[in-house]
A = this chain, B = another copy of it.
Amino acid sequence: MRKKPRYKMGDLQLRIMQVLWDASPATVAQVHEALGAKSGLAYTTIATMLRKMEDRGLVAHETADRRFVYQALVSESEVSRGMANDVLERLFEGSLPNLVSHLLRSREVSPEELDRLQELIAQKRRAK
Contacts and interface: CB of A to CB of B under 8 A. Distances in A.
Given A111-B128, A114-B124, A81 B96 contact: no
B88 A103 contact: yes
A81 B109 contact: no
Q: How many copies does the complex hold?
A: 2
Interface in A103-128: 103-104, 106-107, 109, 111, 113-114, 116-118, 120-121, 124-125, 128
Interface of A: 11, 14, 76-77, 79-81, 83-85, 87-88, 90-92, 95-97, 99-104, 106-107, 109, 111, 113-114, 116-118, 120-121, 124-125, 128
20 contacts: A11-B90, A81-B102, A84-B91, A84-B102, A84-B106, A85-B103, A85-B107, A87-B87, A88-B103, A88-B107, A96-B103, A96-B104, A96-B113, A99-B103, A101-B120, A109-B124, A111-B128, A114-B128, A117-B117, A118-B121
